[in-house]
Structure 1
Amino acid sequence: MIGKAPLRAVRAACRDVEEDLRVEVNPIVIDRDSWDSPSPEAFVAQIREQPLTPIMLEVEHRV
Structure 2
Amino acid sequence: GFDVLSQPLQATAIYCGLNWLPPFAMHCTFICDDETLEGQARHYKQRLLEWQEAHHG
Normalised-by-shorter TM-score class: 0.3 to 0.5
Structure showing the higher helix proportion among its residues? 2
- TM-score (ref. length: structure 2): 0.39
- TM-score (ref. length: structure 1): 0.37
Structure with more relative contact order (C-alpha pairs < 8 Å, separation 6 or more): 1
